[in-house]
């Protein structure tokens, strides 16, 4: 679970960096985006930052809860597959 958390954190950081570069390029006039694309990237970046902040506060109890939920989902998936 922790390795997945580290991977997701790294991926989110990369997306924030990539989007920030696009935003800066647009705002400086180097590479203009369509208005809708610009707003989408800004909103996405804000969402990534919120998610990253939330993930930084995960503790052992949160990891245990997520692992337990994942186990329940997997058992449910297997049970449903048997029914079909």
Residue 43: the pLDDT is: 98
Provide the residue-wise pLDDT of the chain in tens; the chain has 84 residues: 678 888 989 999 999 999 999 999 999 999 999 999 999 999 999 999 999 998 888 777 777 777 777 777 777 777 778 877
Q: Look at the chain and report how many structural domains it folds into.
A: 1
Residue 51: the pLDDT is: 93
Residue 78: the pLDDT is: 78
Residue 1: the pLDDT is: 67
The CA-atom distances, in angstroms, between 76 and each of 67, 71, 80 are 14, 9, 6
Q: What is the DSSP string of 7-55?
A: HHHHHHHHHHHHHHHHHHHHHHTSS---HHHHHHHHHHHHHHHHHHHHH
Domain interval for residue 14: 2-83
């Amino acid at each position: 679970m922790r390795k997945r958390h580290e991977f997701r954190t790294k991926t989110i950081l990369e997306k924030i960096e990539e989007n920030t570069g696009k935003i800066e390029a647009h705002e400086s006039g180097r590479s203009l985006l369509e208005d809708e694309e610009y707003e989408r990237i800004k909103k996405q970046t804000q969402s990534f930052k919120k998610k990253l902040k939330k993930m930084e506060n995960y503790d052992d109890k949160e990891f245990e809860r997520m692992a337990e939920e994942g186990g329940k989902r997997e058992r449910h998936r297997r049970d449903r597959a048997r029914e079909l």
